[in-house]
Structure 1
Amino acid sequence: MSGSQKTGVLLVNLGTPDEPTAKGVKAFLQEFLHDHRVVDMNRWLWCPILHGVILPIRSPKVAKLYQSVWMEQGSPLMVYSRQQADKLAQALDMPVELGMSYGNPSLKDGLSKLLDQGVDKVVVLPLYPQYSGTTTAAAFDGIAKACKAISTLPSLSLVRDYHDNARYIKALANSVRAHWEQHGRADYLLCSYHGIPKRYADNGDVYPQHCEATTRLLGQELGLDESQIGMSYQSIFGREEWLQPYTEQTLKQMPSKGIKSLDIITPAFSVDCLETLEEIAVEAKETFLEAGGESYRYIRCLNDSQEHIEMMVELVQSA
């Protein structure tokens, strides 16, 4: 790398509605669910279903869920992502901008802001520890599209994944240890990952292998055996088969197997968002307790914790 190059970081996450209303959610879901990486169905089949059924029915329901977790400064995902970007910029002493695959600020917005600051080398850091075509590759597609309007391209370096990064595993483990110190240790630690259709994995997406590796390494770091830690997949959507075991079914079965107290963590999410604060912290808790569980505790995401920022610094410097 030439000494005259000015480096900046594009911190990437999935995105969030601008406001917790049916209109805001509809606009976000429309962009998200139009992406071929996310839903690969034939457009002639998919678009009538999306616009005629899914968006009209789901948007008001999802808006209510967003309202239940919305913070004073905005969506949790956006609030924590901005805090991450601010702290990372301070730690690295270089420009750091946010870019969302869907919604605002867009990948194009983030890239433009970096270029306006004279950056000619961009480290793209998608905050998806485990690689998937539906997330990391979709972000890369978006960046490639944004670059079409740029006459002089910056050097680009993509952090593809960090599912087995030692600092990431250590940060996860220390968040669990801190939780245990404060609340005591449950019978079992469940790692719940965002699901993808099983067909995607059958076609070569390495996501499940990355999730399995993260769970195994976290278990080793915490000194847990297979009877004390496991994994499942959440946020299932549609009728086709997704990666299993499903989190909801797993929670229903645990109490009958003697697991009455549970700690649950979501290692695929770098920041708390709707899928963690509502689906896991609230809905999943009800499922477990109704099935006979006695104690259920959600361990928050790494968010803007010092260890998480230090891990990002290392990833950027390595890139």
Structure 2
Amino acid sequence: MSKGILLVNLGSPDSPSPKDVKKYLDEFLMDERVIDLPLWARTLLVRGIILNTRPKASAKAYQKIWWEEGSPLIVLSERLQEKVQKKVDYPVALAMRYGSMSIKKGLQELVDKGCTEVKTIPLYPQFAMATTETIDVKVDELVAEHFPQLKITTTPAFYHREDYKEALAQSIAEKLDGLDYEHILFSYHGVPERHIRKSDITNGNCKMNGKCCFKMGSKQHEFCYRHQCEITTVNIAKKLKLKNGTYSTTFQSRLGFDPWLKPYTDRTIERMGKEGVKKMAIVTPAFVSDCLETLEEIAMEGEEIFHEVGGKEFTVIPCLNDRDDFAQVLTNMIEEWATIKNTIASH
């Protein structure tokens, strides 16, 4: 079998215009694993309310962070793909879950190059319904409908890989080197609490109290986003030798009125500033590519909140983006898979 790799990231509007942003938000928010309401309720919320109010504001936000080359997330993902391609002997395609760089196009590119076996790699270190799962489900749908000849191997969450932890810790250490800071926030993308319960394969073992996240060996941890975020923070804090009380985990980007994972990033920034923290650093480990949520929501809005309540220095640590060590992490994952497949084939 001829092997190929499909890297999959979130996606982006084609441009920061309200029209393109509206089109993108429609596809994104109508995904039943992003807004997990019945179709009628999701349609009413998204197409009846959100898409009539949000696209203009979101377009202005995108305009603030847009690069000459295009969407930062797309550009950075393409740079990463190019680095990985140079390191492996298999075709490496790039796709987005939402937007014009579709997963269907990515799979077609690999098929056109003769691939019959594809490893998909969602570019999300932690598992979530709205990230890894929706990619896996979409791939399954497309293969069943358009690419029945393809054999797919999915990739689980990789937050616990040693090479990933080393790369993330190194990226943070480089930015913190010589920096005088009082607290570092590990800010992860938020999800509704019900998503955690829906992903609980033990059917109710998750107590949503923050305690079971740290009980190692629980079966639900394989698909528990909250656990994987909390443990990512713990792992990196150990590698950086951070002192207790100088770091914490928060969640950003909530939508609507349902309970989302807490504590919230924006409120934590505000509270710490009011409590006298003057120098804060912030890292966003749920994202591997800088995007609207990191470049605008954190680096602009977060810094503004911090300064408004008396904070002085607000240091934003870049995502892994196209770092050589992160490209090597993906290369290692690919080579491990290929080795296993070649071993099986030889027997």
Query: Does the pair score TM above 0.5?
Result: yes
In the other structure, the counterpart of 1:283 is: 301
Correspondence for 2:192: 197
Alignment of 1:254 onto 2:250: no
SS at match of 1:111: helix
1:59-70 counterparts in 2 under 5 A? 59-70=55-66
What is the deviation of 1:172?
A: 1.2
Contact preservation (8 Å) 2:169, 2:239: yes
1:220, distance to aligned residue in structure 2 (A): 0.3
Name the residue aligned to 1:177: 173
Q: How many residues align?
A: 314
Which letter does structure 2 place at the counterpart of 1:9? Answer: I
Which amino acid letter does the alignment assign opposite residue 19 of structure 1?
S
Match of 1:76 in 2: 72
Which residue does the alignment assign to 1:273?
A: 291
Percent identity, aligned pairs only, is 38
Q: Equivalents in 1 of 2:47, 2:70: separation in Å?
A: 27
Q: Spell out the pairing of 1:1-319 with structure 2 (5 A cutoff).
A: 5-150=1-146, 152-181=148-177, 184-203=179-198, 204=200, 206-319=224-337
1:173 Cα offset (Å): 1.1
Deviation at 1:151, TM superposition (A): 5.3
Q: Which residues of structure 2 form unaligned runs of 5+? A: 201-222, 338-347
SS of the residue aligned with 1:122? strand
**Secondary structure of the structure 1 residue equivalent to 2:315:** strand
Gaps of 5+ in 1: none
Instruction: Provide the rounded CA distance (Å) in 2 between the counterparts of 1:229 and 1:220.
Output: 11
Deviates most, 249-258 or 210-219: 249-258
Write the letter of the residue equivalent to 1:293.
G
Q: Deviations over 1:252-286 (max 9, x none)?
A: 11134442211100001010000000000010011
Q: Deviations over 1:78-131 (max 9, x none)?
A: 000111111111111321111111112101100010011011111110000000
> Secondary structure of 1:262's partner?
strand
The secondary structure found in structure 1 opposite 2:159 is coil
Distance 1:30 1:215 in 2: 33
Q: Is the 8 A contact 1:125 1:316 kept in 2?
A: no
The amino acid that maps onto 2:126 is Q
Taking the aligned partners of 1:100 and 1:206, their CA distance within structure 2 comes to 23
Deviations 1:117-162 (A, max 9, x none): 0111111100000001111010011111211233543221111111
Q: For residue 115 of structure 1, give the secondary structure of its aligned residue in structure 2.
A: helix
Q: What RMSD, in angstroms, separates the aligned Cα atoms of the two structures?
A: 1.2
CA distance, structure 2, for counterparts of residue 256 and residue 74 of structure 1: 37
Counterpart amino acid of 2:4?
G
The 1-side partners of 2:173 and 2:148 are apart by 48
Distance in 2 (alpha carbons) for counterparts of 1:21 and 1:143:
29
Contact 2:12 2:98 in 1 (8 A): yes
Q: Scaled by the length of structure 1, what TM-score is found?
A: 0.95
